Amino acid sequence: MASLSVPPTLPRASPAVVGAARGRRAAVRVRTAAAALGGGGGGGMEQHLGDGPRSPVKENPVMSNVGKSTNILWHNCPIGQSDRQKLLGQKGCVVWITGLSGSGKSTLACALSRELHYRGHLTYVLDGDNLRHGLNRDLSFKSEDRAENIRRVGEVAKLFADAGIICIASLISPYRRDRDACRALLPDSKFIEVFLDLPLQICEARDPKGLYKLARAGKIKGFTGIDDPYEPPVNGEIVIKMKDGECPSPKAMAKQVLCYLEENGYLQA
Ligand SMILES: Nc1ncnc2c1ncn2[C@@H]1O[C@H](COP(=O)(O)OS(=O)(=O)O)[C@@H](OP(=O)(O)O)[C@H]1O
Ligand SMILES: Nc1ncnc2c1ncn2[C@@H]1O[C@H](COP(=O)(O)OP(=O)(O)O)[C@@H](O)[C@H]1O
């Protein structure tokens, strides 16, 4: 049998617990069958699970039109976010890192993911560059494509948060309106905006991919910070800044975010 590797801080289910869970599932199946036959006590989980005569889906379906999708129905699942959070011992959320190219977004995302992982927390990094290799490969850097890029990543990040995972999104996300739209997808405290507030000169001096050089030479058009705007957050949760002319180390940046998560209860269910 394949064995799952569980971080040391996550509780492992004992055979007795697994057995009890199986017993509960069997009980739910029995109640569901009873509800489908018209028996059972109404109300509660069996109403959601049953697809028989008492099912709200069949009796009173509420169909919606959303965007270009017509006649669609929202299906609820009996296992919800809080169940998954309890399993993981953390709160699902989105840590959204924004800043200029070269400001250290990917570096921070990886350092934070590592720090959390070693503490037994489940994370997933959504990196702008990486996503443009697949999910967003059809998008350019014109403003409407950047907006669509951010919208898609915001939706994916929301699903990760719903899964109970600490989702770390690192994208330039230069326009305030697009970031605010992602924030609006989640309950307010589940979206943590981290602004990597490094001056353009520092980012440009780093230029690890040589893109600023190409942008200055006019070989890349619409490069953020050069000939395309970057709108800094006004009310973000965390700002990472230079101190005494020095950029904090990757570990120090990660610790700043980690402290915020700890102090605000995200690292417990
Ligand atoms: N015109 C232009 N402007 C800004 N950035 C550019 C551009 N063209 C290519 N790149 C490279 O694409 C990476 C940014 O992708 P993102 O998806 O994060 O951008 S955005 O949020 O949609 O603005 C960005 O990666 P990072 O340097 O890691 O930020 C760049 O390497
Ligand atoms: N805190 C830091 N201190 C020093 N150098 C850094 C720091 N963060 C990132 N860097 C370096 O800056 C460059 C850009 O970092 P990166 O994480 O790729 O930025 P972004 O994802 O914002 O484009 C890389 O060469 C990286 O090693």
- Closest Cα to atom 3, ligand 1: which residue? 223
Question: Is the minimum distance from the CB of 151 to ligand 1 under 6 angstroms?
Answer: no
Torsion from C-alpha of 264, 266, 268, 269, nearest 10 degrees: 120
Contact predicate 243/253, CB 8 Å = no
Give the pLDDT band (50/70/90) at residue 106. very high
In this structure, what token pair is assigned to residue 174?
């230069």
pLDDT (0 to 100) of residue 60: 75
How far from 232 is each of 14, 92, 109, CA to CA, in Å? Answer: 49, 25, 19
Query: Which residues are registered as beta bridge partners of 64?
Result: 72
Task: Reply yes or no on whether the pLDDT at 87 is more than 60.
Answer: yes
- Least confident stretch, 38-47, 134-143, 197-206: 38-47
Task: Reply yes or no on whether the pLDDT at 164 is more than 80.
Answer: yes
Contact predicate 105/97, CB 8 Å = yes
Task: Reply yes or no on whether the pLDDT at 176 is more than 90.
Answer: yes
CA atoms within 13 A on the CB side of 245: 0
Q: How many Cβ atoms from other residues are within 10 Å of residue 192's Cβ?
A: 22
pLDDT (0 to 100) of residue 57: 52
Report the pLDDT averaged over residues 91-109: 98
Among the options 106, 173, 189, 249, which is catalytic? 173
CATH class of 83-263: alpha beta
Cβ-based neighbours of 201, under 8 Å, separated by 6 or more: none
Instruction: Kindly list the domain boundaries of the chain, sorted by start residue.
Output: 15-78, 83-263
pLDDT (0 to 100) of residue 67: 95
Which ligand ends up closest to the CA of 172? 1
- Closest Cα to atom 28, ligand 1: which residue? 101
Pick the atom of ligand 1 nearest to 146's CA. 22
Instruction: Dihedral sign for Cα 72, 73, 79, 85, please.
Output: positive
Q: If you measure from the C-alpha of residue 103 to the centroid of ligand 2, how many angstroms do you get, rounded to a whole number?
A: 6
Which ligand ends up closest to the CA of 126? 1
